[in-house]
Amino acid sequence: MTDPAGTSVTSPGSRPGGRTARVRAQVLDAVRAELAENGHDGLTVEGVAARAGVHRATVYRRWRDVGGLLVDVIEAAGETDWRPPDTGSLLGDLTALNQEIQESLVVRPSFAVALMAASFHSERASQAQTRLWADRYAQCAVLVERAVERGELPARETDAQGLLVAATAPVYHRLVLLRSAPDPRLPEQAASAAVLAAAAGAFTVRRERT
């Protein structure tokens, strides 16, 4: 399960490379599992090394500290072959995207939530997470391009990120900040509101004039 923030709790299917790549995969799997189970507060180089079955010295040499482990696990998420949904309609695509997000946030323990919590405490992890979010929103811009081609959105240039944030932010807001109970209708409701706003021109670039 990979959500658009790339906070995959599973590892990529293919692991090219030899021992170095294998060790990295073992260590990052251990970081994800430790983060999800114990949160950032419980993350230690020793715990990760023990869980991964790798010598502590190896982890210290390659990742240096907990911050280095967090950055690498976030960067590894960016290397997975995640693709935005392609359902044939903008509403369908954004709903599917929100369903992925909701699933990643409501699963217990949630690696995605643990990573957000960690980013409040580690500037390096925060920066890595910001780069990953930017990448994923850039990947999702194709949803907007397809919608314009299908005539679902005004032909004028659309602020893709504005539209994507409007569609997805309520899911994060309710589940992460408001800690609302999961609602199976939420993904479609949030997507639908953004689509209606977009159809009314809320994200056409003329609104972005300086």
Question: Which residues here bind a second copy, judged by CB under 8 A?
Answer: 39, 41, 113, 116-117, 120-121, 126, 130, 133-134, 162, 165-166, 168-170, 172-174, 176-179, 185, 189-190, 192-194, 196-197, 199-203, 207-208
Among residues 87 and 130, whose Cβ is nearest to a second copy?
A: 130
Distance of CA 3 to the CA centre of its chain: 5
Angstrom CA distances, 40 to 5, 66, 69, 88, stand at 18, 9, 11, 39
Residue whose CB is less far from a second copy, 12 or 39: 39
Is 25 or 199 the residue whose CB approaches a second copy more closely?
Answer: 199
Helix axes 186-199, 90-106, angle to 10 degrees: 140
**Least separation in angstroms between CB 112 and a second copy:** 11
Minimum distance between the CB of residue 54 and a second copy, rounded to whole angstroms? 28
Nearest distance in Å: CB 143, a second copy? 17
Contact assessment for residue 167 and residue 203, using Cβ atoms and an 8 Å cutoff: no
